[in-house]
Amino acid sequence: MRILRSIATIALTTLAAATAFAQGSISDLPRRETLIVENPEGTIKNAGWFNIWAINAGGQSTGLHQLAMDTFWYIDPERGLKEVWDNSLAADKPRYNADFTEMTVKLRPGIFWSDGVEFSADDVVYTIQTPMKTNGLRWSAAVQVNVADITATDRHTVVFKLKRPNSRFHALFTVRWNAMWMMPKHVFEKGGDLVKFAQYYPQKVRCCCRNALGQLCCWLADANPIGGGHPCYQPLGGGCFCADR
């Protein structure tokens, strides 16, 4: 019993010291500049891995898709039956042909990746074509089962040709908790084997517009618009509203 008490004391002391060290390492950060994100997964399996399209390579619910990723649409179930739809990277709701074998998506202009490269239809085409020809990515099966082809008719329009009628194909890109996120083509096309590509510096989606002084104003896209709306609808300094550009 005495030995067990000694072991327990050592364990508690070690835990307290580790906790104090962890708290001390961030104690100098101002609270107003600190965002604390809950990690429901517990310990992050691979803290340097940000390729969310690979399976079981890193954390999936650690703030990455909530704060950095984006896709076409969001659904807010807390709004009841009306006004539940939010256009995000898409400028409007999906458009299907008569037999639901084609879906057209109009993209919102003025969206940039965090390195300044503009988001466009090229990114969407790459996001779909990559899992079409690559097995083992997170959405490979869903894309290969549904998509026959995808084309960009202009810089802000993409057309999906489906293998069979599917009136709910848009659900793949509609967030309730998760969805198929867009890939930065200019980063991933240089990544080699994307199943093993870590993407150590993740590219985040930004919304940009010009203010009254002609300055380009950008801010990170809110990947969870519930309660505050999409950031492209929020006012910026200088009387700039992206929604009215």
- Sorted by where each begins, the domain ranges of the chain are 43-207
pLDDT tens string, the chain, 245 residues long: the values are: 444 333 333 333 433 444 444 444 566 778 887 777 777 777 776 767 777 787 766 666 666 777 778 999 999 888 777 778 999 999 999 999 999 999 999 999 988 888 888 999 999 999 999 999 989 888 999 999 999 999 999 999 999 999 999 999 999 999 987 899 999 998 888 877 777 777 655 555 555 555 555 555 555 544 333 333 444 444 444 334 444 33
96: which DSSP letter? Answer: E
Paired tokens of 114: 């965090």
54: which DSSP letter? Answer: B
Paired tokens of 134: 């690559």
Bridge partner list, 56: none
Element containing residue 3 per DSSP (H, E): helix 2-25
pTM: 0.69
CA distances from 138 to 18, 72, 204, 205 (A): 35, 18, 19, 20
Burial of 176-207, coded b for 16+ CB within 10 Å and e otherwise, reads: eeebbbbbbbebbeeeeebbebebeebbbbbb
Q: What is the CATH number of domain 43-207?
A: 3.90.76.10
